Amino acid sequence: MLKDVLANQESYQPGLSIDCVIFGFHNNQLKVLLIKTRYSDLWALPGGFVSIDEGIDEAAVTVLYGRTGLKGIFLRQFSTFGSARRCNVDFSNSVLDFYGIPIKEGKWFASRFVTVGYYALVDFLQAIPPEDGKNDIIEWIDHNDVPELILDHKEILNTALQTLRMELNLMPVGYNLLPEKFTIPELQKLYETILGRKLDRRNFLRKITAIGILTKLNEKKSNVAHKAPNLYSFDKEKYEEVVKNGLTQGW
């Protein structure tokens, strides 16, 4: 991929890149999608460069698909990262060396890049990247167990998580992270996992019910050891209305 980019570097916007933080929720864990490339032992966020023929939002979709095979995912821009020291010359040169690209030819790649961060909340079971065994390793990793990442990718990930926590006070989450049918304890666990703290059960139920986005189903969760809890689903129209208009309560 990098060889193709360098061969056509005039087709890309100089000094501008994109990095994507993709969150999924599975087995009560908030997971993040990471990539391990052939040229580094460290994990990284899926990212890439911006074609001069595409807008930033368009390019983010293209980059994510190109790196992971995932498509149909709504990406939300959350921050820009432009530290003067975010470019690591040694790292850039090691990548060029791996591909056998002379440093002079790879000067464009080794220069300073400003990166635009995007994040997305996706259904874990519906967003498992395809594997072809020839390219990068792509895995979902618990956000609490993320190892060392390349460059400033850990900072980008942490900023995305902080943004998500702040936006819980402005909009509901869950529609893209939970299965179609879920229980209130499962929804509460999602909020607790994102926030990194426990929430009072009765207070959570009162607040989440007041938002008016839940539909109580005439079903109970099966295969549970104790009293089966009721199942709920999201009212899509009301959910989207609240996302559009915002919330007035906090957690």
Q: Where are the domains of the chain?
A: 2-167, 184-245
CA dihedral 179, 182, 23, 131 (to 10 degrees): -30
Q: Which of 147, 143, 175 is nearest to 162 (CA)?
A: 143
pLDDT of residue 57: 95
Q: Which among 59, 55, 27 has a CA at the least distance from the CA of 46? A: 59
Model pLDDT, residue 66: 87
Cα–Cα nearest to 71, from 129, 20, 148: 129
Q: Which of 186, 187, 180, 246 is nearest to 211 (CA)?
A: 246
8 Å CB contact between 75 and 118 = yes
Domain 184-245 listed as CATH 1.20.1250.20: no
- pLDDT computed for residue 102 by the predictor: 86
Q: Which residues of the chain have pLDDT under 70?
A: 1-3, 129-135, 224-225
What is the per-residue pLDDT for 134? 54
Integer angstrom CA distances of residue 57 from 20, 50, 69, 87, 159: 11, 10, 17, 23, 19
Whole-number pLDDT of residue 250: 78
pLDDT at 224: 67
**Top-level CATH class of 2-167?**
alpha beta
Looking at residue 179, its pLDDT comes to 87
Our separate counts of H helices and E strands in the chain read: 8, 9
